[in-house]
Structure 1
Amino acid sequence: MQVREGYAEFRGYRTWFRVTGDLNSGRLPLIVAHGGPGCTHDYVDSFKDLAATGRAVVHYDQVGNGRSTHLPGVSPDFWTVALFLAELDNLIEHLEISDYALLGQSWGGMLGAEHAVRQPAGLKALIIANSPASMALWSEAADELRQALPREVQATLLRHETAGTTDSAEYHAAAEVFYARHVCRVQPVPAEVERTNVAIEEDPTVYHAMNGPTEFHVIGSMRHWSIIDRLPRILVPTLLISGRFDEATPATVQPFADGISDVRWQIFEQSSHMPHVEEREACMACVDGFLAPFG
């Protein structure tokens, strides 16, 4: 299998990318945008499986993360949706990709929706995986899921959030109870997921600025984000993916199903936030089937 890695220069920084397969194979390439904001490509690495069908798969680390340029000293307001949209545009131009499908997972799906509402000429298909249509809905869902946690776990989370001690080991341990239920049900988490988790711990700059200390305590700049009223502008065929136990609950995904004209939705019954890990073969088959008509 042909694999190419490199860097795209972007505003004086560098975006790391990897292309698995041949971009000139004649099949529509798939670009994969990871979540966070502030994760790395590692935990969505499994989508490279689709290159076995002859379709090139492009992974990249968004600036600030992974193998791309890190900027731990910048002001939190540096990190914006517009920045990451411009970076994605730059990567597409750098790789000289004319037509493509875009798959975004979690925050990556939010970014993908933001990309799609602009109706770029090259975008032919969109996959929004495990993403909310607004952070208000995400926070509401998180509150409901938290209420189902053991009482002592709930109390620990609230105590540290109130005290501002969310960097404590006790808080992290309590958060792991939520993560094992609603983020990745494969325990211990696979190596590629752990690599992303370690990377966030080593440099949480982007995650803390845009999201917050945990998945369910959103106090960063994205806390008021919504794309619900702009969804009718997405005109390309769209696949929605979520898990039955997903922190992106059906209520958070429903606006995508209601607002996008050409849309289908697959819920993976044994998965939470990572069907591409938890039900890998079934998830790849679903994505492959959706993309097959596009070549």
Structure 2
Amino acid sequence: MKTYHVLLSLLFIFCLHCKEAQEQSLETEQGSISAEKYLEPQKEDQFLGGIKMIPIKTPKGEFKVWTKRVGNNPTIKVLLLHGGPGMTHEIYECFDGYFPQENIEYYYYDQLGSYYSDQPKDLSLWDLDRFVEEVEQVRIALGLNKDNFYLYGQSWGGILGMEYALKYQEHLKGLIISNMVASIPEYQKYSDEVLAPKMKPEVLKEIMQFEENEDYENERYLELIVNNYYTEHVIRMPVADWPEPLNRGFKHLNPDVYVTMQGPSEFGIKGDATLKNWDVTTELHKITVPTLTIGATHDTMDPEHMKWISTEVQNGRFLLCPNGSHLSQFDDQKVFFKGLIRFIKDVDSGAF
């Protein structure tokens, strides 16, 4: 009888061990969160699939912005700021192929004016300071704080991320500045003096003729830009091979937001674009939170400048995507996600 009870005890312990091992199947460097827990639906998810429309107060009234949560990790929550301005969260759908298996909770988010959010027509809303306040309202609504909040911003989203950190970094656990320099004049200089001379002279001449005539909507102009500039410095793939989420994002881009802030040119920031003179190079030293800057060899942005940013902030790291361009989450995926995930986990575990 005593032997029987011993066997039962051993069997119970063995089964308990198996259950614990199964729950820890998605073990990560900083600890473990079970697959069941990570994918555990919240009550509203069972009806809305993680989507939350967040009310945003602005000087021109209240509007709603679209967000969608994926995963459940109390110490890692990444809010994704898309580029454009006026682009959409869709260009980050490839994150689904990397973040879930690493137990990283993340939020898709369409900024005000972008396709899945409200799109008011008042151009005065497309203002950098207002967008910073919008991000802060989104943070509060999602319950993000210094113990879990990672802010990822790419391109225009990188501008927004830097400005947010300069005002609200006490709420951040980590900051990622992806494919964005800290100065629009420096970006324009790099475009004019480094990237432009790399183009075929006859192609550059024709593009600049359209630029001088401000004929930005000419189909020939767009054809030249896409096939000679985008495929070299925005996404290094033939146009026919561009990922469907990217094509969908371009289709959904809001030109009112884009032109107001970025300007009508696809070859830099020109005209009376509101971001034309933006520059925070002298303020970067104020950023104290762990910061990752991501650059790419073939980017529209100078990778050396992005490396420099990592040395100007107080706790920086630089990731270079050697085969990537402006959208290196697509054209240099393995390097991009390996470095991004490592940074998030290093910060979370205290190893940064």
TM tier, smaller: over 0.9
Q: Secondary structure at the match of 1:120?
A: helix
What amino acid sits opposite 2:195 in the alignment? Answer: L
Within a 5 Å distance, the mapping from 1:133-152 to structure 2 comes to 133-143=182-192, 144-152=194-202
2:86 paired with 1:35:
no
Contact 2:295/2:307 (8 A) holds in 1: no
1:251: Cα distance to partner? 4.2
| Stretch deviating more after TM superposition (149-158 or 237-246) | 149-158
Distance in 1, matches of 2:331 and 2:186, equals 24
What amino acid is the match of 1:245? H
Q: Pairwise mapping of residues 139-288 of structure 1 onto structure 2 (< 5 A)? A: 139-143=188-192, 144-176=194-226, 177-187=228-238, 188-200=241-253, 203-219=254-270, 220-288=273-341
With 1-10 and 223-232 compared, the bigger mean Cα shift is at: 1-10
Shift of 1:254: 4.3
**What amino acid maps onto 1:40 in structure 2?**
T
User: How far apart, in 2, do the equivalents of 1:63 and 1:119 lie?
Assistant: 20
**CA shift at 1:133, angstroms?**
0.7
Q: Is the 8 A contact 1:118 1:233 kept in 2?
A: no
Whether the aligned pair in 1 keeps the contact of 2:322 and 2:332 (CA below 8 Å) is: no
Aligned to 2:319, the other structure's residue is in SS state strand
Does the aligned pair in 2 maintain the 1:234–1:260 contact within 8 Å? yes
Instruction: Say yes or no: does 1:5 pair with 2:51.
Output: yes
Q: Residues 101 and 124 of structure 1 are in contact (CA less than 8 Å); yes or no, is this contact kept in structure 2? A: yes
Equivalent residue, structure 2, for 1:126: 175
1:100 alignment counterpart: 149
Q: Deviations along 1:166-210, whole A, 9 cap, x unmatched? A: 11101101111101000000222111111111112xx31111000
Say which SS state the counterpart of residue 199 (structure 2) adopts. coil
* 2:99 aligned counterpart, secondary structure: helix
Q: Which runs of 5+ in 1 are unaligned?
A: none
Question: 1:10 is matched by which residue type in structure 2?
Answer: I
Counterpart residue identity of residue 108, structure 2: H
- 1:223, distance to aligned residue in structure 2 (A): 0.6
* 1:79 Cα deviation from its structure 2 partner: 1.1
Q: 2:257 & 2:305 partners in 1: Cα distance?
A: 23
Alignment counterpart, residue 81 of structure 1, candidates 108, 128, 149: 128
Runs of 4+ in structure 1 over 3 Å off: none
**Residue type of the partner of 1:66?**
Y
Distance 1:261 1:215 in 2: 33
In structure 1, the residue matched to 2:33 is none
Letter in 1 for 2:122: V
Q: Does 1:57 align with 2:110?
A: no
Letter in 1 for 2:94: S
Is 262-271 or 49-58 further displaced after alignment?
A: 49-58
Which TM-score applies when normalising by structure 2? 0.79
Distance 1:100 1:78 in 2: 26
The root-mean-square deviation of aligned C-alpha atoms, in Å, is 1.5
Larger radius of gyration: 2
Q: What's the secondary structure of 1:224's corresponding residue?
A: coil
Q: How much has 1:51 moved relative to structure 2?
A: 2.7
Q: For structure 2, which runs of at least 5 residues remain unmatched after alignment? A: 1-38, 42-48
8 A contact 1:156–1:170 mirrored in 2: no
- TM-score w.r.t. length of structure 1: 0.93
Bigger RCO (CA 8 Å, 6+ sep)? 1
Q: What are the superposed Cα offsets for residues 66-107 of structure 1, whole Å, 9 maximum, x if unpaired?
A: 201112x323x4311111111111111111222301111111
**Matching residue's letter, 2:250:** N
Q: Which amino acid aligns with 1:206?
A: V
